[in-house]
Chain A
């Protein structure tokens, strides 16, 4: 064996990189990972999320089908209160009136860490180049359905039109049915992530989230939020408070 040196250049470089990584990692982790609230299940969720982001090729396309593959599609309300509470926003007079006028008064606010905060009408969104995709909706409950979605790529609105600021990391969606949830930038800028206003060739119907819902094809159905009204770009994850999904025990990341 030739003389083994304790300090080789390669060792130095590797040790240095590891040390820097060790120092930087906790900060990176805190900024990019959803909160765990000290709960072991949330830690497991984060392990899965980190593994997906580390091991999976970034922004690969979910399978797209032919229009002939479209199937029956159940509509469920994420918020069961819709079924029991007559004062639920989706049952309100305001929403009904808005629906009757083709959502002429509906506006989508895009704000937060964007260079040009904007308000879009439905017609504004339809002026963007449209993308139509036939994809499978996979519900955490265990069922699936194939539908055709038409809308504008969220990345197009955020990156090209509103202009993301460098600190942007998460995109939070505030929905008319009081639902709040967020996705990371990788999924937000995914080419198949749409602000969808059309389904199966027609306008998006009320049970499916009219006038505009999100489509996130790389995650479970509950991340494809309905009735979107406000999109907020943030640098830190907004857990949505006590109405938020994570605080109610659901995994923030639902790619599995």
Chain B
């Protein structure tokens, strides 16, 4: 599972390199305007299109064009690796969610306690973090307020969002469950949300790792792996 995330990020990046344009709605291609163009591959604005003129019936509107540029495309392995790694995220992830719900882990450790979640305390925690005034975790592993909120956001919102938007891009799955296709406003919207949710996850990983290091790397690693803190 720990390996699946970097595998997903790297393969996802390679897939995005193939068509580094993001759109909103169902449709987006090189002949329609993009929401965002990322200069991350030779395919960025390659301009290798030969117009073949308007189609028979929709004169003036939709056009067709033939691509004359040999694009960068490593999607053969990148797509297969992406979907293989996704299994290693989705299956243990589902087990974690079920276990967390039934063992009371979420209730005890992730849910902010009664009276804990006040704007005042949240603000203080944010300010403390920004000033890098991070207290080493106390002996019994208790998450801080901001930490709880972040974990809840990642576990219950952003990670499920990447999975759902991923499924919403599948022609077979959206045929079976059309609601998925419409939930995010279309195939291209799902793709765009998928990208930004991943950006959030990568940022989370960076901050999370920095915090682990800052709050006592060795002790935290021991706590994560063996579950004991001295």
- Nearest CB on B from A214, distance (A): 14
B83 touches A48 (CB 8 A): yes
- Docked Cα-Cα span, A143 to B71, in Å, equals 13
The residues of B that contact A80 with a CB separation of less than 8 Å are: 70
B57 touches A75 (CB 8 A): no
Interface of B is mostly: mixed
From the candidates B27, B66, B81, name the one contacting A146 in the complex (CB within 8 A). Answer: B27
| Interface residues on chain A, number (Cβ under 8 Å) | 57
- Docked Cα-Cα span, A146 to B67, in Å, equals 17
Known interface pairs A70-B58, A74-B29, A136-B27; A143-B67 also in contact (CB < 8 Å): no
- Nearest CB on A from B12, distance (A): 11
A202 touches B57 (CB 8 A): yes
Quick check: which of B141-149, B154-162, B168-176, B216-224 contacts chain A, the rest being far away? B168-176
- Docked Cα-Cα span, A205 to B28, in Å, equals 21
- Nearest CB on B from A220, distance (A): 7
The residues of A that contact B15 with a CB separation of less than 8 Å are: 142
- Nearest CB on A from B63, distance (A): 5
The residues of A that contact B80 with a CB separation of less than 8 Å are: 41-42, 44-45, 249, 251
B66 touches A41 (CB 8 A): no
- Docked Cα-Cα span, A156 to B165, in Å, equals 35
Instruction: Please report the number of residue pairs spanning A and B whose Cβ atoms sit closer than 8 angstroms.
Output: 167
Which chain B residues in 158-207 approach chain A with CB under 8 Å?
169-176, 178, 181, 187-188, 191
The residues of B that contact A234 with a CB separation of less than 8 Å are: none
The residues of B that contact A218 with a CB separation of less than 8 Å are: 171-172, 175
Which chain A residues in 22-70 approach chain B with CB under 8 Å?
40-45, 47-48, 52, 56-57, 60-63, 65, 67, 69-70
Interface status of B99 (Cβ within 8 A of chain A) = no
The residues of B that contact A199 with a CB separation of less than 8 Å are: 55
Which chain B residues in 15-40 approach chain A with CB under 8 Å?
15-16, 18-19, 21, 26-32
Known interface pairs A143-B19, A144-B187, A218-B171; A56-B83 also in contact (CB < 8 Å): no
Known interface pairs A41-B84, A200-B58, A219-B171; A144-B68 also in contact (CB < 8 Å): no
- Docked Cα-Cα span, A219 to B71, in Å, equals 22
Interface status of A128 (Cβ within 8 A of chain B) = no
A-B contact pairs, 20 of them (CB 8 A): A44-B81, A56-B173, A61-B175, A67-B57, A70-B61, A71-B27, A71-B32, A74-B31, A77-B66, A80-B70, A84-B70, A136-B171, A143-B30, A144-B27, A144-B29, A200-B55, A201-B58, A202-B57, A205-B52, A256-B83
Beyond A74-B49, A75-B66, A207-B64, 8 additional pairs, beta carbon < 8 A? A47-B87, A71-B62, A72-B31, A143-B21, A200-B58, A201-B57, A217-B175, A249-B76
A residues engaging B (CB < 8 A)?
40-45, 47-48, 52, 56-57, 60-63, 65, 67, 69-77, 80, 83-84, 136, 138-146, 199-203, 205, 207-208, 217-220, 248-251, 255-256
